[in-house]
C-alpha cells in the first residue's frame, strides 16, 4: 500500500491514470446498478401486464379455465414459462403438482388484484379478477421464472458497460502515457548527457504546462555553464598570472648561477632552480588541462601520427638521453587522424613524458600506430613498473601520483590526456606491457578513424 501511495504522490502520470480509472469504474458501477435495477423492474411490469391481458382474454372470450382432471397435459417443454389460469375456489388443491398440470392451492379469500404468494411450495405472482359473470379467476406465473427473465433482460442492458469499461480503461492509460511521452523523452535526453553537454534543451515540442520547467532548466544550464566557464577561466588566468613572477624568479636564479659562489651555494642553487623548473612545468600542465577541458573544440585537420611522434620526440629526446632510455617507433606504417594537431601533440607528449619519467634509467619505450576496425590505435609502452590493476581508475584523477616513485611530475598528465580523449571521442586503455610478470605500462589510445583519409605514407612534415 505504501508503494501505491508513494507512486500516487510522485508520479503525475500514475496519479492521472489511477484517478481517471477510478472515476470511470465508479461511474460504470453506479450506472450499471441503476440500469440493472430499472431494467429488472421494467421486465416485471411487462410480465404483470401479460397476466392482466391473459385474465382479460379469458374474461372476454368467456373461456372457462380448463378443469385439471380432463385437460390433457400439453407437453410444451417450457412448463415454467406457463401462465396458469384457474377458477378460484374450484376443486381445491389437486393431487397433481403444478408442473404436472395440477391446479394451484389458492385461498378463496384472495382480493382482486396482483399479489405474490406461496402455493404448492413455490412462489407465484397471481392476478385475481372477477369476471362479468361473477366468476373469480386467477392467472398465475412462477416468480422464479419471472425473476430469471427480468434478470436476463437487465443483464443484457448492463453488458455493454461490462465490455466497454475495460476498453475505456486501456484507452485512458494509453492516452495518458502518450501525453507524457515528450516528458519521458526529454528526461531521457537530459539523463544521457555528458557533463560538458550543457546546451539548452529543446522546449518547442513540449506541452505548455511543462515548458516553464524546461525554460527554468535551460536557465539553470546556462548558469552552470557560466560557472564552469568562469572556474576554468580562473584556473587558466591564475596559471597565466603566475607565469610573470615565475619568469622573474627563474631569470634571477639564472643570473645568480653566473655569480661567484661557494660549492655549497652552487649545489643549493641547483636545487632552487630545479624547484623553479618544477613550478614552471606544473603551470604549463595546468594551462594545458584548462585548455583540454574547455568546451571549444579546436579546428580538426587530418594529422599524420608519425609526424606527431617525431615532433614530440624532438622535444623529449634530451630527457630520454639524460636517462639513457632507448625510445623509438616500431613499424613503418602511418595513419592519419582527424584531430587538431595541438590536441594530438598534447596527448602523445603527456603519454611519452610519463613513460620516460617512470621508466628506470636504461629502460626502453616503444611507440606504434596501427589501423584497426574503424579506429586508429596508438600505443605507448615502457618497461617501467606499470600500474597495478587497483590503481588504474585513479590515475586519471588530477594530481594523482604513482606511489613509490621519486618522480616529480605534475600529476596532471593523464588527466589532460583523458580530457582531450573525451572531447575527441577517443578511448584510453591501460595494460601491462608484459602481462605475465605484471610489468611495464602499455597505454593504448583508440581514435575513431576518418575512413578514406587512411594512407600508408606519412605526411612529410619537416620542410627543408
Cα distance between residue 462 and residue 85, in whole Å:
124
- Considering beta carbons, is residue 68 or 458 the nearer one to another protein? 458
- Considering beta carbons, is residue 4 or 461 the nearer one to another protein? 461
The SS3 of residue 116 is strand
Which of 98, 282, 292, 313 is the binder for another protein (CB under 8 A)? 313
Q: Which three cell numbers stand for residue 421?
A: 580523449
460 near another protein, judged by CB under 8 A: yes
- Considering beta carbons, is residue 52 or 310 the nearer one to another protein? 310
121 near another protein, judged by CB under 8 A: no
Show the site string, 213-242: x = touches another protein by CB under 8 A, - = not. Answer: ---------------------------x--
Q: CB-based contacts of 361: which residues, under 8 Å, 6+ apart?
A: 323, 324, 325
- Beta pairing class for 364-372 and 326-329: parallel
Which of 26, 30, 227, 317 is the binder for another protein (CB under 8 A)? 317
Site residues for another protein, window 246-305 (CB under 8 A)?
246-252, 254-255, 258, 280, 283, 287
- Considering beta carbons, is residue 82 or 310 the nearer one to another protein? 310
- Beta pairing class for 84-87 and 364-372: unpaired
Q: How far is the CB of 276 from another protein (least distance, A)?
A: 8
Which of 211, 223, 243, 429 is the binder for another protein (CB under 8 A)? 243
67: left (phi over 0), alpha (psi -120 to 50) or beta: beta
Cβ(327)–Cβ(356) below 8 Å: yes
- Considering beta carbons, is residue 30 or 295 the nearer one to another protein? 295
Q: How far is the CB of 381 from another protein (least distance, A)?
A: 14
- Considering beta carbons, is residue 243 or 392 the nearer one to another protein? 243
Instruction: Give the burial class of 104: count Cβ atoms within 10 A of its Cβ; 0-12 exposed, 13-18 middle, 19 or more buried.
Output: buried
Site residues for another protein, window 361-390 (CB under 8 A)?
367
How many Cβ atoms are within 10 Å of 107's Cβ, its own excluded? 10
Q: Computed over its alpha carbons, how large is the radius of gyration of the chain? A: 49
Q: How far is the CB of 462 from another protein (least distance, A)?
A: 6
Which of 176, 305, 308, 327 is the binder for another protein (CB under 8 A)? 327
Q: CB-based contacts of 385: which residues, under 8 Å, 6+ apart?
A: 358, 402, 404, 405, 439, 440, 441
Cα distance between residue 67 and residue 129, in whole Å:
18
Interface residues with another protein (CB under 8 A)?
A: 240, 243-252, 254-255, 258, 280, 283, 287, 306, 309-310, 313-314, 317-318, 321, 326-332, 342, 367, 460, 462, 464
Amino acid at each position: 500500500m505504501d508503494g501505491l501511495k508513494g507512486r500516487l504522490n510522485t508520479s503525475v502520470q500514475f496519479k492521472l491514470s489511477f484517478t481517471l480509472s477510478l472515476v470511470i469504474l465508479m461511474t460504470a458501477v453506479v450506472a450499471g446498478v441503476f440500469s440493472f435495477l430499472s431494467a429488472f423492474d421494467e421486465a416485471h411490469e411487462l410480465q404483470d401486464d401479460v397476466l392482466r391481458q391473459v385474465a382479460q382474454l379469458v374474461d372476454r372470450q368467456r373461456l372457462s379455465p380448463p378443469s385439471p382432471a380432463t385437460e390433457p397435459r400439453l407437453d410444451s417443454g417450457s412448463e415454467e414459462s406457463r401462465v396458469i389460469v384457474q377458477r378460484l375456489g374450484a376443486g381445491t388443491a389437486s393431487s397433481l403438482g403444478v408442473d404436472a398440470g395440477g391446479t394451484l392451492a389458492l385461498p378463496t379469500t384472495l382480493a382482486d388484484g396482483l399479489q405474490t404468494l406461496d402455493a404448492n411450495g413455490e412462489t407465484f405472482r397471481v392476478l385475481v379478477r372477477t369476471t362479468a359473470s361473477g366468476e373469480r379467476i386467477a392467472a398465475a406465473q412462477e416468480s422464479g421464472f419471472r425473476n430469471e427473465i427480468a434478470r436476463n433482460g437487465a443483464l443484457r442492458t448492463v453488458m455493454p458497460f461490462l465490455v466497454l469499461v475495460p476498453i475505456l480503461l486501456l484507452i485512458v492509460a494509453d492516452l495518458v502515457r502518450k501525453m507524457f511521452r515528450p516528458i519521458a523523452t526529454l528526461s531521457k535526453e537530459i539523463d544521457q548527457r555528458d557533463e560538458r553537454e550543457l546546451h539548452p534543451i529543446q522546449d518547442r515540442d513540449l506541452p505548455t504546462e511543462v515548458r516553464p520547467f524546461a525554460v527554468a532548466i535551460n536557465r539553470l544550464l546556462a548558469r552552470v555553464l557560466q560557472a564552469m566557464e568562469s572556474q576554468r577561466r580562473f584556473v587558466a588566468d591564475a596559471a597565466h598570472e603566475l607565469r610573470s613572477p615565475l619568469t622573474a624568479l627563474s631569470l634571477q636564479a639564472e643570473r645568480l648561477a653566473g655569480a661567484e659562489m661557494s660549492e655549497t651555494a652552487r649545489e643549493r642553487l641547483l636545487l632552487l632552480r630545479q624547484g623553479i623548473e618544477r613550478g614552471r612545468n606544473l603551470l604549463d600542465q595546468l594551462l594545458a588541462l584548462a585548455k583540454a577541458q574547455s568546451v571549444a573544440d579546436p579546428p580538426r585537420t587530418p594529422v599524420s601520427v608519425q609526424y606527431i611522434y617525431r615532433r614530440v620526440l624532438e622535444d623529449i629526446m634530451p630527457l630520454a638521453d639524460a636517462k639513457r632510455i632507448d625510445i623509438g617507433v616500431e613499424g613503418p606504417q602511418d595513419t592519419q587522424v582527424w584531430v587538431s594537431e595541438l590536441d594530438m601533440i598534447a596527448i602523445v607528449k603527456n603519454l611519452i613524458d610519463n613513460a620516460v619519467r617512470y621508466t628506470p634509467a636504461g629502460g626502453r619505450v616503444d611507440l606504434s600506430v596501427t589501423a584497426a576496425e574503424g579506429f586508429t590505435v596508438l600505443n605507448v609502452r615502457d618497461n617501467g613498473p606499470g600500474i597495478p590493476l587497483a590503481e588504474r581508475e585513479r590515475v586519471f584523477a588530477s594530481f594523482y601520483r604513482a606511489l613509490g616513485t621519486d618522480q616529480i611530475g605534475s600529476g596532471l598528465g593523464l588527466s589532460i590526456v583523458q580530457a582531450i580523449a573525451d572531447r575527441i571521442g577517443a578511448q584510453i586503455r591501460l595494460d601491462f606491457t608484459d602481462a605475465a610478470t605484471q610489468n611495464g605500462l602499455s597505454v593504448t589510445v583508440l581514435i575513431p578513424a576518418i575512413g578514406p583519409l587512411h594512407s600508408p605514407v606519412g605526411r612529410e612534415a619537416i620542410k627543408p
